[in-house]
Amino acid sequence: MTKILKVYRIVLVALFLSALPVVAKAATLYFSPASGSYAVGKTIAATIYVSSADQAANAASGTVAFPADKLEVTSLSKTGSILSLWVQEPVFSNSAGTIDFEGIAFNPGFTGTGGKLITVNFRVKAAGTAALNFSSGSVLANDGQGTNILTGLGKAQFNLGEETVSEVPVAPVAPVVSAVTSSSGPVSIPVAPQISSSTHPDPNKWYSVKTAEFAWRLPADTTGARLLVGKIAEAVPTVNYIPAISAKKISDLEDGVWYFSVRLRNGAGWGSIAHFRFQIDTAPPTAFTVTELVDADNAEPTAKFVLSASDATSGISHYEVQIDGEAPQTWQDDGTKTYVTSPLAPGKHILIAKAIDKAGNSADSSLEFTIDQSELLASSESLELLEPPVIAEYPKKITSGEALIIRGTTKYPNAQTVVQFVGEGNEARNQVVENDANGNFTFVAEEKFKDGVYKVQAEVIDEQGIRSAPSEKIIIYIGQPAFLKIGSWLINVLAVLIPFVALLLILMFMVWYGWHKFSLFRKKLKKEVSEAEAATHQAFDQLTESVRRHVKMLEKTGRQRALTKEEEKIVKYCKKNLAGTEKCVVQEIKGINKAMK
| 138: CATH | 2.60.40.680
Across 411-552, the runs of DSSP E, i.e. the strands, are: 416-422, 428-434, 440-444, 452-461, 474-479
Q: What is the pLDDT of residue 181?
A: 47
Asked if 43 and 164 sit in the same domain, the reply is yes
Domain count along the chain: 5
Cα separations in angstroms, 86 against 59, 79, 81, 89, 117: 9, 13, 11, 6, 11
Residue 486 lies in a domain: no
Give Dmax over CA atoms of the chain in angstroms. 190
pLDDT exceeds cutoff 80 at 392: yes
pLDDT (average), residues 260-270: 90
Q: What is the DSSP letter of 489?
A: H
Domain boundary at 246, 280, 314, which? 280
Local confidence band at 248 (pLDDT 50, 70, 90 cut-offs): very high
Q: What is the pLDDT of residue 330?
A: 93
Residue 471 lies in a domain: yes
Cβ neighbours for 346, distance < 8 A, ≥ 6 positions apart: 301, 371, 372, 373, 374, 467
Residues composing the chain: 597
Asked if 157 and 201 sit in the same domain, the reply is no
**Single-letter code of the amino acid located at 198:** S
Cβ neighbours for 271, distance < 8 A, ≥ 6 positions apart: 138, 148, 189, 190, 191, 192, 263, 264, 265
Asked if 513 and 559 sit in the same domain, the reply is yes
Residues 462/382, Cβ–Cβ less than 8 Å:
no
Angle at 253 between CA 247 and CA 259, to 5 degrees: 60
- Chain Cα centroid distance, residue 423: 43
Residue 410 lies in a domain: yes
Cα separations in angstroms, 114 against 27, 89, 120, 133, 173: 11, 21, 16, 18, 7
Asked if 132 and 49 sit in the same domain, the reply is yes
Distance CA 56, CA 61 (A): 15
**Single-letter code of the amino acid located at 218:** L
Residue 14 lies in a domain: no
pLDDT exceeds cutoff 50 at 19: no
Nearest to 264 by CA among 154, 177, 155, 146: 146
Q: Give the alpha-carbon dihedral of 100, 106, 112, 117, to 10 degrees.
A: -20
Asked if 139 and 236 sit in the same domain, the reply is no
Each as own residue / partner, the long-range contacts of residues 528-532 (CB below 8 Å, 24 or more positions apart, any chain) are 529/589, 529/592, 529/593, 529/596
pLDDT (average), residues 418-423: 84
Angle at 533 between CA 527 and CA 534, to 5 degrees: 95
Dump pLDDT digits (tens) for 184-238. Answer: 455 688 999 999 999 999 999 999 999 999 999 999 999 999 999 998 888 888 8
Q: What is the DSSP letter of 389?
A: P
Asked if 226 and 246 sit in the same domain, the reply is yes
Domain boundary at 280, 297, 330, which? 280
DSSP secondary structure of 180-236: PEETTEE-PPPPPPPPEESSS--TTSEE--S-EEEE-PPPTT--EEEEEEES-TTPP
pLDDT (average), residues 552-576: 75
Q: Is 544 helix (H, G, I), strand (E, B) or coil?
A: helix
Asked if 244 and 291 sit in the same domain, the reply is no
Residue 499 lies in a domain: yes
Nearest to 356 by CA among 301, 285, 405, 422: 285
**Single-letter code of the amino acid located at 496:** V
Give the CATH number of the domain where residue 435 resides: 2.60.40.10
Cα separations in angstroms, 137 against 2, 29, 272: 57, 8, 13
Residues 522/596, Cβ–Cβ less than 8 Å:
yes
Asked if 350 and 236 sit in the same domain, the reply is no
pLDDT exceeds cutoff 90 at 540: no
Q: What is the DSSP letter of 364?
A: E
Lowest mean pLDDT among 94-98, 158-162, 208-212: 158-162
Residue 97 lies in a domain: yes
pLDDT exceeds cutoff 60 at 353: yes
Q: What is the pLDDT of residue 58?
A: 87
Domain boundary at 479, 511, 538, which? 479
Phi-psi region of 97 (alpha: psi -120 to 50; beta: other; left: phi over 0): left
Average pLDDT score, the chain: 82
Distance CA 207, CA 279 (A): 6
pLDDT exceeds cutoff 70 at 114: yes
Top-confidence residue, 437 or 234: 437
pLDDT (average), residues 108-128: 91
b/e code 490-526 from CB counts within 10 Å (16+ = b): eeeeeeeeeeeeeeeeeeeeeeeeeeeeeeeeeeeee
Local confidence band at 239 (pLDDT 50, 70, 90 cut-offs): confident
Asked if 129 and 223 sit in the same domain, the reply is no
Nearest to 386 by CA among 471, 266, 482, 278: 471
Determine the structural domain holding residue 589 and report its residue range: 492-596
Asked if 372 and 295 sit in the same domain, the reply is yes
Lowest mean pLDDT among 178-187, 408-417, 423-432: 178-187
**Exposed / middle / buried, residue 120 (Cβ in 10 Å: 0-12, 13-18, 19+):** buried
pLDDT exceeds cutoff 80 at 85: yes
Cβ neighbours around 583 below 10 Å, total: 9
Distance CA 345, CA 376 (A): 12
Cβ neighbours around 273 below 10 Å, total: 22
Residue 135 lies in a domain: yes
Residues 72/123, Cβ–Cβ less than 8 Å:
yes
Nearest to 39 by CA among 114, 130, 111, 108: 130
Asked if 403 and 372 sit in the same domain, the reply is no
Asked if 72 and 174 sit in the same domain, the reply is yes
Residues 419/443, Cβ–Cβ less than 8 Å:
yes
